[in-house]
Amino acid sequence: MKNINKVLDILEETYPDAKCELEYTTPFELLVATILSAQCTDVRVNKVTGEMFKKYNTPEDFTKLSIKEIEEEIKTCGLFRSKAEKIKQTSEKLCDVYNGEVPNTLEELTKLPGVGRKTANVVLSNAFGQDAMAVDTHVFRVSNRIGIVNTSTPEKTEFPLMEAIPKKRWSHSHHLLIFHGRRICKARKPECEICPITKYCKYYKDNFK
């Protein structure tokens, strides 16, 4: 897409506060929060972790809890049973293999139970300041609507987006596309009438011109 920098510039002006909306103070807290965020709002995750991290916020803390106890902490999040298991197993592996530290490479992160490329990229870009492109459902939908990529699933979107967007802008683009997807380019009905990038948008051209 030849106007990609222009589109990102406009989104930056529109969302000057775009950033990770999960609250965390360490890479491990972000890892847990990102695991919890699957099919759950960031607001809900922040509520749960706000209480939980006061009591437990290291891999070692979670290895000492039973899965039932972790479930109890996170039960207001969707899919809490499988998430409790993932948090427990990931904590055990971090303690056994990584000395209780979260590794800072995609390869090592994706070896952790329940950590896919999206979660790993969120941790790499936000907690470790690396250039990474995490693709969630918003990033997938919005980037396809605009015409930055033409892909069929979130999983198939990471590499085309990395091709289309300058590397230095990968991490922030993730936040910009999520902010745009939550506020204007919504899943069920995009609010094109108030969108600042109609001029560059493929969906808009295809549907309203």
* Catalytic residue numbers, as ranges: 118, 136
Q: Shortest approach of ligand SF4 to residue 121 CB, angstroms? A: 22
* Both structure tokens of 90: 């990931």
**Alpha helix stretches (DSSP H) within the chain:** 4-14, 27-36, 42-55, 59-63, 67-74, 80-97, 106-109, 117-127, 137-146, 158-164, 170-183, 202-208
Tell me if 146 contacts ligand SF4 by CB under 6 A.
yes
Q: Which stretch binds ligand SF4 (CB under 6 A): 33-41, 112-120, 167-175, 188-196?
A: 188-196
Tell me if 11 contacts ligand SF4 by CB under 6 A.
no
Instruction: Return the number of the residue (62 or 200) whose C-beta is nearest ligand SF4.
Output: 200
Q: How many CB atoms lie within 10 A of CB 149?
A: 21
Q: Shortest approach of ligand SF4 to residue 190 CB, angstroms? A: 4
Size of residue set near ligand SF4 by CB under 6 A: 13
Site string for ligand SF4, 89-128 (x = CB under 6 A): ----------------------------------------
Rounded Cα–Cα distance for residues 29 and 70 (Å): 14
Give me Rg for the CA atoms of the chain: 18
Burial degree of 1 (CB within 10 A; 0-12, 13-18, 19+): middle
Q: Shortest approach of ligand SF4 to residue 165 CB, angstroms? A: 15
Would you tell me which residues interact with ligand SF4 (CB under 6 A)?
145-146, 184-185, 190-192, 195, 197-198, 201, 203-204
